[in-house]
């Protein structure tokens, strides 16, 4: 049995279980007694702290805040993050570090980040920043110190190491491709969850269209959930409502991520709209599933392996050299043309 199991049985957060088992304040006596009783009944024995010798093993922690934005509790099953984690683990092995994983539920942010900062014994932290705001990241950085690298996000004004995607470049590539194909009526399918990455993609895409003297009409903006690979009733309703006014759909659609693109393709197909004959579709991320969907998805390849390598190397450099100046690194993208887009 793990702490997560006790937390579920007791109906409390993992941090509350940690408080109860360690005897720290911060929870009620009733909660403490309930947690301890469940632990005793199930024969739970807390893991002992590492001794000085045992602690000599070098390790990094991959820290994730879940259930906010597109980062779900089972984030490791989501294609983009699954691939990213694979490359992080691979780079850690090459560098002689083990990789630990720690998850914090955003609903218990204050409690659980306090527990993590007190109990974390790894040498450095790679923080998945996809769904975090600048305020969140600054708060976390102040608690965890300088041996921290934020991955998959970037806020230029924060004194924190960041390794992110060159989102503007990728979206510009997508927009330029559609314009070169001759598309003039172009639509945009956005995430209904605000993320820094998506905002940057929107800016880059619109910049490309502006260079070709094209603007996206207000009625050609759609929005959907960014975490579903299946068709979505909400998008279907938006498109039906649009078509009911006897207007033609845009001849091309840019989607803020591959999840949205794949979901849109399935939704359009169910409505009898052919891809790419009626509508060209472009995604962003180049997840594995983009090659499984039919037709294969034109998309922007994110260099996840390069991002992982840079993040691991940067946090190790922060550990071993004690860097005083922070860095902002954006990894360029690559356009991948497949069968979901044409003239």
Single out the residue in 283, 302, 321 at which a domain terminates.
302
For 205-226, the pLDDT digits (tens) are: 999 999 999 999 999 999 999 9
Burial class (CB in 10 A: 0-12, 13-18, 19+), 46: exposed
Structurally, the chain folds into a number of domains equal to: 2
Would you say residue 38 lies in a domain? yes
Would you say residue 87 lies in a domain? no
Would you say residue 246 lies in a domain? yes
Q: Sort residue 177 into left (φ over 0), alpha (ψ -120 to 50) or beta.
A: alpha
Question: What is the token pair recorded at 118?
Answer: 């007190």
| pLDDT digit string (tens) for the chain, length 343 residues | 677 778 888 887 777 777 777 666 557 778 888 888 888 777 776 655 544 444 467 999 999 999 888 898 888 889 899 999 999 999 999 999 999 999 999 999 999 999 999 889 899 999 999 999 999 999 999 999 999 999 999 999 999 999 999 999 999 999 999 999 999 999 999 999 999 999 999 999 999 999 999 999 999 999 999 988 899 999 999 999 999 998 999 999 999 999 999 999 999 999 999 999 999 999 999 999 999 999 999 999 999 999 999 999 999 999 999 888 999 999 999 999 999 998 7
Would you say residue 105 lies in a domain? no
Would you say residue 209 lies in a domain? yes
User: What are the helix (H) ranges across the chain?
Assistant: 3-10, 14-22, 29-41, 79-95, 109-119, 134-144, 167-180, 196-211, 233-243, 258-270, 304-321
* Residue 291 belongs to domain with CATH number: 3.40.50.2300
According to the model, what pLDDT value does residue 51 have?
47
According to the model, what pLDDT value does residue 56 have?
62
Would you say residue 84 lies in a domain? no
Would you say residue 63 lies in a domain? no
Range of the domain at 206: 167-302
User: 241-247 long-range contacts, Cβ below 8 Å, gap at least 24?
Assistant: 247/219
List CB contacts of 149: < 8 A, sequence separation 6 or more. Answer: 124, 125, 126, 127, 161, 162, 163, 311, 314, 315, 318
User: For residues 213 and 244, is the Cβ–Cβ distance under 8 A?
Assistant: no
Residue 95 to residue 320: CA distance in whole angstroms = 12
Single out the residue in 266, 282, 302 at which a domain terminates.
302
Would you say residue 239 lies in a domain? yes
* Residue 27 belongs to domain with CATH number: 1.10.260.40
According to the model, what pLDDT value does residue 53 have?
46
According to the model, what pLDDT value does residue 48 have?
52
Residue 105 to residue 68: CA distance in whole angstroms = 8
């Amino acid at each position: 049995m793990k702490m997560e199991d006790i937390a579920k049985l007791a109906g409390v957060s993992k941090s509350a279980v940690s408080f109860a088992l360690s005897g720290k304040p911060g929870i009620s006596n009733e909660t403490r007694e309930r947690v301890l009783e469940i632990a005793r009944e199930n024969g739970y024995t807390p893991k002992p702290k590492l001794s000085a010798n045992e602690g000599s093993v070098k390790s990094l922690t991959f820290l994730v805040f879940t259930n906010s934005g597109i980062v779900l509790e089972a984030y490791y099953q989501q294609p983009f993050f699954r691939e990213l984690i694979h490359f992080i683990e691979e780079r850690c092995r090459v560098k002689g570090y083990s990789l630990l994983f720690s998850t914090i539920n955003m609903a218990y942010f204050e409690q659980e980040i306090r527990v993590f900062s007190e109990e974390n014994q790894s040498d450095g932290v790679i923080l998945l920043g996809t769904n975090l705001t600048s305020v969140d990241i600054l708060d976390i950085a102040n608690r965890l110190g300088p041996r921290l690298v934020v991955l998959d996000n970037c806020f230029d004004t924060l004194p924190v190491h960041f390794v992110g995607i060159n989102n503007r470049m990728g979206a510009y590539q997508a927009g330029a491709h559609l314009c070169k194909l001759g598309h003039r009526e172009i639509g945009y399918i956005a995430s209904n969850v605000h993320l820094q990455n998506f905002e940057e993609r929107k800016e880059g895409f619109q910049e490309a269209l502006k260079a070709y003297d094209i603007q996206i009409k207000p009625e050609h903006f759609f929005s959907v959930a960014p975490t579903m690979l299946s068709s979505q009733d909400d998008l279907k309703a938006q498109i039906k409502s649009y078509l009911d006014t006897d207007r033609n759909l845009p001849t091309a659609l840019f989607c803020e991520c591959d999840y949205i693109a794949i979901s849109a393709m399935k939704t359009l197909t169910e409505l009898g709209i052919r891809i790419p004959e009626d509508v060209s579709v472009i995604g962003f991320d180049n997840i594995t599933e983009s090659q499984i969907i039919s037709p294969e998805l034109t998309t922007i390849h994110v260099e996840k392996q390069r991002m992982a390598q840079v993040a691991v190397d940067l946090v190790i450099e922060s550990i071993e050299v004690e860097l005083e100046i922070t860095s902002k690194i954006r990894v360029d993208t690559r356009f991948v043309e497949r069968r979901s887009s044409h003239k």
